[in-house]
Amino acid sequence: MSTPTTRISRWERLSRSQRENLNGQLLTGPSLVLITLVVLLPFVLVVIFGFSDTRLIDIPRLSPSTIEWTLDNFVDAARSDAFWGALWTTVAYAGLTTIGSIGVGLVLALALRRPFRGRGLVRALLLIPYVLPVIAAAMIWRTMLNPQYGIVNAFGQEYLGWQNPIGFLSTTSAELAGLPVPVSLLVVVCFEIWKSAPLAFLFITARLQNVPGEIEEAAALDGASGWQNLRHIILPQLRGVVLLLLLMRFIWSFQSFNDVYLLTEGAGGTQVMAIKVYTELITRADIGSAAAYGLLMSLILCLLLAGYLLLSRRKETL
């Protein structure tokens, strides 16, 4: 009798490394499909819209043969005063909120570094602005700053001698000591600082807890003052986390939409780039122009990220 031949499956013929590679591909396959559908495909469509003369009413009839490729959207943006105004407003908003939120977070983290009675409760209360839903926070601020019944104007007229109520959310500029002050822009900046400073506080507090106490004790024995201890020991330890926060906070603020729109809807000189994109898409129904503005925003952020990576690599090689 002839012995039956043993069939070897394709799986058994694979080596161990090939099996692990196949398992990895099977496990990551669903994630890659999801990323392609949710991220890559919409981005490709934005690029197509940005380089074409397309409006919302053209979407149902859009096909590769009907697309008219053009650079007009980018040329019009470069020639538009509204685009440059929105860009500079965005840079000012992002820069002020980044510096302000990290500065406030740093001060709070240093102030609450030493243990005292009730420190845990104080830390928990500081996190309320960050965990509060943005729509609830915006409505609270809108109510407080309302020129008719807001508590801020009522306090100012009663105790500070204001002759007329101030429209904090609609006033583009007002004179203070002879200097023009962008009132509405400063209000949305203060709101963003109040909302995002707790995140910087958390990051910096976590880093402070890992600062070796022996170094500070040795410096104190050598006669170092509190300022010298802060400048030469604590702050250098925080350089990495502060740089990371600067990048993250600027990117988040640069593309911020919800906070500004819920407070002012872009009025009073607060039309940032994200609101400009929304206006081009919804008000003017110009999807090509909106896509071009979005791509320009992405380009600026990519350049910023590339600069940060180059700076990080240069520090690692030193």
Total of domains in the chain: 1
Residue 12's identity, in one-letter code, is: E
CATH of the domain at 180: 1.10.3720.10
| Contact yes or no for 283/292 (Cβ under 8 A) | no
66-79 mean pLDDT: 84
- pLDDT category at 141 given cuts 50, 70, 90 is very high
Domain-located, residue 18: no
What per-residue confidence (pLDDT) applies to 139? Answer: 93
What per-residue confidence (pLDDT) applies to 233? Answer: 80
Q: Six-digit token pair at 119?
A: 């420190």
* CA neighbours closer than 13 Å in the CB half-sphere of residue 236: 8
Domain-located, residue 52: no
Report the helix count and the strand count for the chain, using DSSP H and E: 17, 2
114 vs 108, 110, 111, 197, CA distance in Å? 11, 8, 7, 19
What is the chain's mean pLDDT, rounded?
A: 85
Q: In a 3-state reduction of DSSP, which class is residue 314?
A: helix
Q: Which domain holds residue 77?
A: 72-317
Nearest to 140, CA basis, from 163, 97, 162, 169: 169
Domain-located, residue 36: no
| Contact yes or no for 97/193 (Cβ under 8 A) | yes
Cα gap 144→142, rounded to integer Å: 6
Domain-located, residue 104: yes
264-268 mean pLDDT: 88
pLDDT digits (tens, 9 = 90+) for 243-262: 889 988 999 999 999 999 99
Domain-located, residue 238: yes
143-154 mean pLDDT: 90
What per-residue confidence (pLDDT) applies to 198? Answer: 94
Domain-located, residue 58: no
- pLDDT category at 7 given cuts 50, 70, 90 is low
Q: Six-digit token pair at 105?
A: 């977070």
pLDDT digits (tens, 9 = 90+) for 171-219: 888 877 677 889 999 999 999 999 999 999 999 998 888 877 777 777 7
- pLDDT category at 225 given cuts 50, 70, 90 is confident
What per-residue confidence (pLDDT) applies to 88? Answer: 93
Domain-located, residue 120: yes
Nearest to 214, CA basis, from 231, 232, 233, 197: 233
Domain-located, residue 131: yes
Residue 2 has pLDDT above 50, yes or no: no
The C-alpha R_g of the chain, in whole angstroms, comes to 27
